[in-house]
Amino acid sequence: MEKSNDIYNIDGVPPLKTAIPLGLQHVLAMFTGNVAPLIILANVLGLPVAERSFLIQAAMFVAGLTTLIQLYPIGPIGARLPIVQGTSFGFLPTCIAISAKYGLAGILGATFIGGFFEMGLGVFLKPLRKYFPPVVTGTVLLSIGLSLLPTGIKYFAGGVGAADFGSLSNLLLGTIVLVTILFFKQFTKGITSMSSILIGLFVGYLVAIPMGKIDFSAVGSAAWFAFPTPLKFGMTFHLDAIIAMLLMYIVTAVETVGDISGITMGGDNREATDRELSGGVMADGLASSIAAVFNVLPNTSYSQNVGIVTLTGIMSRFVVAMGALFLILAGLFPKVGAIVAVMPSSVLGGAAIVMFSMIAISGINLITKDALKGKNSIVVAVALGLGFGLGSVPEALVNLPETLKLIFGGSGIVVTGLIAIFLNIILPEDDGVKSETLQENAA
């Protein structure tokens, strides 16, 4: 099918009847991940219900606002790509550690400073670009996709901590969503094919109601209108907390480079430009500083939404902007967000499995742009072997200092990215592979 400029072009502006459902598809995909880190941290801090609800509201408002910055740049800040911003899960272990010593104010202070640090990384990303060839960014992207798969399965089974985790009803609900997505994606055309994820989530939501898996009491108790108050919890600045946070900002910058590469590769079949990478990382940093002002944890580009772009090929910024506006509205009108917030985890899991897997496929596509032999094969093998391996077995790092365990023992993305960059720099080029590549090009 020939691509329509209205939908598949970055500057395409499809009609609202098309853009709104496709934008909502992005929101539904990231909604739980956007608020879950704050719910977890609020539980750790023992915050009352009213303050937990406030943090969820603020997270939605900030995600919408910062997504618009990525879509429609402010000067050099912003990738001008269909990127969705949201609360980062990757920072959660570090934030929990900081909270034990300095509380939420200490987290927000370190988040605020760290955001400007990441903006600086974005400014100097162009001279650093040579250290991020396809084999490196592809390996990071593959690691992101693989690391997210267990999360998708946990959602599929009902969500960690659910009393009915792994129940047949949860597995059935997730399967219904997955099968619905596959059917509409592969056996229909036009808007139904492009909205397959939204349709799958909608079908799953409706099926979950008679199954008794949705409690609408949260919708009834939510306020009609409320503005998220800036600096409600204040900020404090502590050197050790800031240093721990800065290390994580280096990691999230690498993840953002991988996400941007995933969008351009999966949605446009090309590598990202220096301008897109630099602007995207700068916007990522600014988003986190804005998030801190509105009492929210660091923000980052969302890999599950990269999966949607890869799956559908839809690159229109206007489509994602519709989703961003919905997030802002959900942050101003808590009842709207509550309707989405009560969606069962198993419904999201059915879609997440497809989306997360597509991220891994984008990584494979990037890695294989060059011959996967010699140096490239070693870079991928060692980076994934150590990174994904340690991420899967974090107890192997039990004797490291606590700070290092938090940084290197999480998802494995950090180790994968650092090793891929390091090996790509120090390993010599493989002459045999270069000769073969030249011969293939000549042929």
Domain-wise residue ranges, the chain = 5-226+235-358, 370-443
pLDDT at 252 over 90: no
pLDDT at 188: 87
Q: What percent of the chain has pLDDT over 90?
A: 35
pLDDT at 150 over 50: yes
In this structure, of 79-88, 152-161, 191-200, 374-383, the range with the lowest mean pLDDT score is 191-200
pTM as predicted: 0.72
- Token pair, residue 292, equals 């801190």
pLDDT tens per residue, range 406-422: 566 556 777 888 899 89
pLDDT at 75 over 60: yes
**Strand-strand pairing, 85-87 and 299-301:** antiparallel
39-49 in b/e form (b: 16+ CB < 10 A) is bbbbeebebee
- Token pair, residue 391, equals 């991420």
pLDDT tens per residue, range 292-331: 999 999 999 987 788 888 888 889 999 999 999 999 988 8
CA gap 371, 431 in Å, rounded: 12
Average pLDDT, the chain: 85
Residue with tokens 């609408």: 216
286 confidence band (pLDDT: 50, 70, 90): very high
108/164: higher pLDDT? 108
> Which among 215, 183, 216 is positioned nearest to 199, based on CA atoms?
183
pLDDT at 403: 65
In this structure, of 44-48, 169-173, 200-204, the range with the lowest mean pLDDT score is 44-48
| 38, 70, 256, 308, 316 from 24: Cα distances, Å | 22, 17, 22, 12, 14
Mean pLDDT over residues 50-77, rounded? 91
443 confidence band (pLDDT: 50, 70, 90): very low
440 confidence band (pLDDT: 50, 70, 90): very low
CA gap 431, 438 in Å, rounded: 10
62/164: higher pLDDT? 62
pLDDT at 369: 83
Could you tell me the sign of the dihedral formed by the alpha carbons of 84, 89, 91, 97, in that order? positive
pLDDT tens per residue, range 207-219: 999 998 888 887 7
pLDDT at 3: 47
